[in-house]
Amino acid sequence: NNLNIEVHGIIDSTNQRLMDLIRSKQDIDDGLTVISECQTEGRGRRGRSWISPFGSHIYLSRYFKSHEGLSEVAALSLVIGLAISNAIERYTGVVAELKWPNDVMVNNKKLAGVLVEAEGQSDGFCHLVIGIGINVNMPEESAELITQPWTDLQMVSKKTIDRNEFIAVLLAELDKVIDAFRVDKLTKLYKLWNNRNAFEGDVVNITTGDRVKSGRCIGIDETGALLIEEDNVISRIFGGEVSLRRA
Ligand code: BTN
């Protein structure tokens, strides 16, 4: 795979940068990657902002041209968490777990998040932006702004992380997982995801809007749906505005 990377010191959002390129109808190399030292308008899932201080973390977006359309978005975002976890294991030895749909966790604290955004176009393709935020070395003043339990790579590995070296490993792991996904979607990858499921066997509450459903978390199936078992009945939960918590 040839490497095509754009590096910024400051940017509104690396996801926004790729969305702008897509909307300007430029021809974008598949796999084009945008990285920035900080973001002024970093965004997270569910309309939240992603605190993005300078020089501390990793903010990276990668372009993916989909021949299938929006149905790929949810499945793709699942395997991105897997690639991040693989890279963390390869670089630090720490096994990070996955919280459906796409948080990367260590000791039940969030270490990285994934935001996939899509733009359909008249050219028949679906243009996807895979956004990845990884906490590396959280500054105190940023920590105060984060409302959910978090951790970072330095804390969990007890090592000083070289972000460039780590990004090289991450890009290699992303290539592997994305190539596998292109060939046969989740048919092999879902088992690897399940090996890292942070909620495996736990009783969970799943909130969609104002509806709460509970059951035992079994893992994902080949379509990327989350399987929840209650009274011997298995339900399949699909992505979207769903949040998962231990009961
Ligand atoms: C989440 O809410 O868990 C997803 C966080 C995604 C943050 C990354 S940082 C790089 C990319 N650019 C953005 O504006 N967001 C994503």
Could you tell me if the CB of 45 is within 6 A of ligand 1?
yes
Question: Could you tell me the two tokens for 48?
Answer: 């939240």
Q: Tell me whether domains 5-195 and 203-246 share a fold.
A: no
User: Quick one: which H or E segment has residue 173?
Assistant: helix 163-184
Residues 6+ apart with CB under 8 A from 215: 203, 204, 206, 228, 229, 230, 235
- Please answer whether residues 172 and 155 qualify as being in contact, where contact means their C-beta atoms are separated by less than 8 angstroms: no
Mean of the per-residue pLDDT values of the chain: 94
Q: Which CATH number fits domain 5-195: 3.40.50.150, 3.90.1570.10, 3.30.930.10, 3.10.20.30?
A: 3.30.930.10
Residues 6+ apart with CB under 8 A from 87: 166, 169, 170, 172, 173, 174
Encode pLDDT of 48-80 as tens digits: 999 999 999 999 999 999 888 777 888 999 999
Could you tell me if the CB of 18 is within 6 A of ligand 1?
no
Set 17, 43, 99, 110: catalytic member: 110
Encode pLDDT of 1-44 as tens digits: 567 999 999 999 999 999 999 999 888 999 999 999 999 999 99
Q: Where are the domains of the chain?
A: 5-195, 203-246
- Give yes or no: 245 in active site: yes
Specify the pLDDT at position 122.
77
Could you tell me if the CB of 14 is within 6 A of ligand 1?
yes
Percent of the chain with pLDDT over 70: 99
The top-level CATH class assigned to 203-246 is mainly beta
**How many Å apart are CA 189 and CA 176, to the nearest integer?**
11
Could you tell me if the CB of 44 is within 6 A of ligand 1?
yes
**How many Å apart are CA 178 and CA 68, to the nearest integer?**
14
If one residue of 8, 41, 43 were mutated to test the ligand 1 pocket, choosing by the most ligand atoms within 8 A of its CB, it would be 43
